[in-house]
Each structure stands twice: as C-alpha cells, then as structure tokens.
Amino acid sequence: MKRPLDLTVMMYHYIRDPGDAAEEGSGILGMSVKTFEAQLDELATRHTFVTWPDVRLALQEEKPLCGSACLLTFDDGVCDHYFNAFRILRERNLSGLFFVVDRRAQRGLILAHKIHFLLAKLGLIALHDAIWEKLNPAQREQFVQAEQKYRLKYPPVSPDGRINLLKAVLQRDLSGEPGPILSDLFEDHIGSESEIARSYYLNLEQIHEMVAGGMHFGGHSRSHPWFDWIDAEARTEEIKASADWVGQFEPGPWAFAYPYGGLSDDSPNLLKEHGFLGAFTTQTQLRHINPYLIGRLDGEEVAQEGQGYA
C-alpha cells in the first residue's frame, strides 16, 4: 500500500439485550440492539458504508475507496453476530467483517470469555478470591508481582480499573495457569464449558448462512493470546490455525484482527506469509499508513462517551 488509507473502521463485540438468544441469562452485558441500530443511523449520516472486498481492492491499489468510507467489524465470532448483528445488517443491506477465533466443536471457551462468564456470575471480589484459593505459593507470588506491575496502567480506584487489573494478570503473566483453574470454576458455578462453547461461538452452518447473506470473515487467532506476550513460534501457530479456519468459508487474501489489540514486530510478516493482506488493531486511528496496523473506533466506547464520528 503506497498511499495512506482514509477509512473509519468501527469495532464491535457483544451486541445483545438481557434475555435474548445471545445473552441467554449469562449476565454478560454488551451494546444493546437499540444502541447499535442508533449508531448505524448516525454513521449513515456521515459515512458511506463499504465492504471488506472494497477495502481489499484499496489495499491492493486496484480501486480507491469512496469518500468518508466506513467499515463495520465484529470481533470474536460470538453468537451475537448471528442472532443480532447479521439480522440488522441484512435488513439494511449492509455488510460486516467478522473476525472469528478458531473454535471448532472440540474447543472450549477462550480465556477471555471464561473470565466474562465468571465475572458475571460471581462478581469481581468472589472471583478474585476463588482464583487465589486455587493458586500455589509460587503462583500467588507471581500474581502479586503482576498486580503491582499493572497498577499504573489500570489503577484500581474504580470498578473498571479493578476488573481490567485482574484481566491483565490472568491474560498475560498467569496466562498458562488460570485456564484449567477457570475451567474448574466454570464447571462448579456455571455448567459444562464444552456445551456452552458450542452455542456461544458461530458454527459453520451459521457462518455459511452469513456468507450467503453478504457478510465477510477474517482471522482472529486460535486461542486469542496477547501477541506481544507469546513467542514467535506460538504466534506463527496462531496465525496458521486462523488461516486454515477462515479459508474454509472466505476466499483470500484475508483480514486479521489482533487479539486484545496486542502487537509484535514480526506479526505483519507472519500474517503476509500466511495469506493475510491487512490487519486491524484496537488503536484509534482514521488514516492508515501500514496495511497491517489499521486502527479502529470501539463502537461501545463511542456510545458511552457520546463522541461524534470523524
């Protein structure tokens, strides 16, 4: 890509209402359907919606994007995207780009989603205490050191700060240990992780229906790790697994979204080697110089803060 890409990219995760087919009594909150539709209405007054193929052609410098272009993206491949986002987009004759983790039938929940379920069920203090009880002395020391390290970035002076502090410790420094611990807690307090995972993530039947309805798909890794925390070999495995999965239902070259927005210097080359043409971050950015560092606006944060749109 020789010229900067001017593109507003919106990022969404959960789109659900309490008690609907996506939330299903889990207590995990997200952007309401009404708020999502209102945001689409607002975006439509300022932008022209484009599709992933439009952006792909622009990245390949075969056809420039229209003025005020806006791309809608959705992370993690959760069922919200089939039950709610897909329905709404199809009604409006719009297309979205859905970044899916490789969650085939034999895989359970990724670590981030185990945390979401358990936080909703137990609350922050009870979850923190339950995890602490299951850690051995060496893990407890590591836990305390990690908390101290992340306190500057996530000051525990508000509920969000305390939650983000716990997530940072579990998703990075203790990322090898809490998986089995959280799985045990999940079975004790919620139910069968494998059964819930089967309905929580998009399945192939739903994905194929979405493709037939004009949606597009990109990669989002296999286990959703921080790319700046794992080593190069693990990053390669995550990217290859993602390419193998997405290649079953989306023609390449593909798009990729970095899990948690975590970046590493070698990721662009690894992605290019495995058939990915561009990659999306979580950084707020509207003009993009590097096709593997395309920024996005978080739709839920925009809605909460009442921000305007560029």
pLDDT tens-digit readout, 84-116: 999 999 999 999 999 999 977 567 899 999 999
Spell out the residues 6+ positions from residue 199 whose beta carbon is closer than 8 angstroms to its own: 24, 79
Spell out the residues 6+ positions from residue 229 whose beta carbon is closer than 8 angstroms to its own: 172, 175, 262
Q: Please give the Cα distance from 78 to 268 (Å, whole number).
A: 25
Angle formed by the axes of helices 159-168 and 124-134, to 10°?
30
Percentage of residues in the chain with pLDDT exceeding 90? 85
Summarised one tens digit per residue, pLDDT across range 146-165 is 999 999 899 988 999 999 99
Average pLDDT over residues 51-56: 98
Confidence (pLDDT) at 262? 94
Question: Cβ(193)–Cβ(186) under 8 Å?
Answer: yes
Summarised one tens digit per residue, pLDDT across range 123-147 is 999 999 999 999 999 999 999 999 9
Average pLDDT over residues 250-262: 96
Average pLDDT over residues 39-50: 97
Confidence (pLDDT) at 310? 45
Is pTM beyond 0.85? Reply is yes
Confidence (pLDDT) at 309? 46
Nearest to 267 by CA among 297, 291, 295: 291
Q: Please give the Cα distance from 256 to 184 (Å, whole number).
A: 31
Question: Cβ(193)–Cβ(229) under 8 Å?
Answer: no
Summarised one tens digit per residue, pLDDT across range 12-25 is 999 999 999 999 99
- Top pLDDT among 153 and 310 is at 153
Nearest to 17 by CA among 40, 33, 41: 33
Q: Is 216 helix (H, G, I), strand (E, B) or coil?
A: strand
Q: How is 152-169 classified by DSSP, letter by letter?
A: TTS-TTSHHHHHHHHHHI
**What dihedral angle (degrees, nearest 10) is formed by the CA atoms of 270, 96, 59, 287?**
-100
Phi, psi of 25 (to 5 degrees): 75, 10
Strand partners, 183: none
